[in-house]
Structure 1
Amino acid sequence: MPREIISRCGYRCDLCMAYSENVKKDDRRNLLSDGWYKYFGFRIEPENIVCDGCLKDDCVKSKLLDTECPIRPCVKEKGYENCSQCDEFLCEKFKQRLVDFEELKKQHGNIPRSDYKLFIKAYENGKRISELKLKNRDNQRMFNKEIIPDVAAMSKFIGGKCSAVWDELLEHIRRNYTGFENILFYGKNYGMGIAIQAE
């Protein structure tokens, strides 16, 4: 079973045939180009279909297919992992990238299960974000190992009084230890942690 990689808007990169890791393993971009045209009405030439995913911070080196996406900068600006953490979900920006299987069935009639799996499931983000919002409503920590926030983003994400404690902790570490550079993740269920390595 593939490791879930959930994008800022709720697409699943790990299921997407355009995701660079999937292209390397099994190049089916010709099929994907036709599928996108059939169900979403746009066509990208197969040789231009490759995406590193919007979780990457380095946009210069990373290849993004949807460079005009309004969701990625919005989520990053708010310091969130994805739209499930935002009180404004379902906003107009999200609706621009919303994929709803029931709506697609109304437009296209009966959709074969194989087509759903190949061309729709990865992008069915409304349902996915709603489920994440419900599941994590009492715990808004980030769990996605693909996202490594910087200190400023982490401070903004924590917010309020806890942010002041966070700042004090960082200052203590900087004064008393050497080698602190990164905020790291410690597994799916543990959220974020600080790694200090002696030089």
Structure 2
Amino acid sequence: MKTYIAYCGLDCETCEARLATMHNDNELRKKIAKEWSELNHAEITPEMINCEGCRMDGVKTPYCDSLCQIRQCGLSKGYETCGDCSQLETCEKVGMIIGNNREALRNLKC
């Protein structure tokens, strides 16, 4: 499995938050903060857009660090990803992502 596949199967390597962090791109941080604020109906500031990847050591966005139920579940169970879980395809936590993103499901089944 690729190192940058998140617990939910999304590819952190292509995540704009990770790219903004890796390239220290403040304009991209502003763009993401605006998009995520509108999408989540919450105030997300450019300063919050710092993440090195869901399963990587290092900085995470506040959501990825402590609010993401999927990541917290995988960590608590000691899984590499949700692909290790026997309840993957019936899990409500990861269901929205893998139901709407077939690539994420494929990533978890690799």
Same fold by TM-score greater than 0.5: yes
- Counterpart for residue 77 of structure 1: 76
Q: Which structure 2 residues correspond to residues 46-61 of structure 1 after superposition, within 5 A?
A: 46-56=46-56
> What's the CA shift string for 1:104-142, capped at 9, x where partnerless?
xxxxxxxxxxxxxxxxxxxxxx42332135x53xxxxxx
**In 2: Cα distance, 1:54 partner to 1:87 partner:** 21
Gaps of 5+ in 2: none
* Number of corresponding residues: 103
Are the equivalent residues in 1 in contact too, given 2:9–2:107 (CA < 8 A)? no
Gaps of 5+ in 1: 102-125, 137-199
- Counterpart for residue 86 of structure 1: 85
Q: Report the RMSD for the aligned CA atoms in angstroms.
A: 2.9
**In 1: Cα distance, 2:91 partner to 2:55 partner:** 20
Shift of the 100–41 alpha-carbon distance from structure 1 to 2, 3 Å rule, reads: farther
Larger RCO: Structure 1 or Structure 2 (Cα < 8 Å, ≥ 6 residues apart)? 2
1:23 equivalent among 21, 24, 29: 21
Are the equivalent residues in 2 in contact too, given 1:84–1:129 (CA < 8 A)? no
4+ residue segments displaced more than 4 Å: none
Instruction: Give the TM-score of the pair, scaled to structure 2.
Output: 0.69
**In 1: Cα distance, 2:98 partner to 2:42 partner:** 14
**In 1: Cα distance, 2:37 partner to 2:60 partner:** 19
Instruction: Give the TM-score of the pair, scaled to structure 1.
Output: 0.42
Identity percentage of aligned residues: 30
SS of aligned partner of 2:4:
coil
- Greater gyration radius: 1
Q: Which has the higher helix share?
A: 2
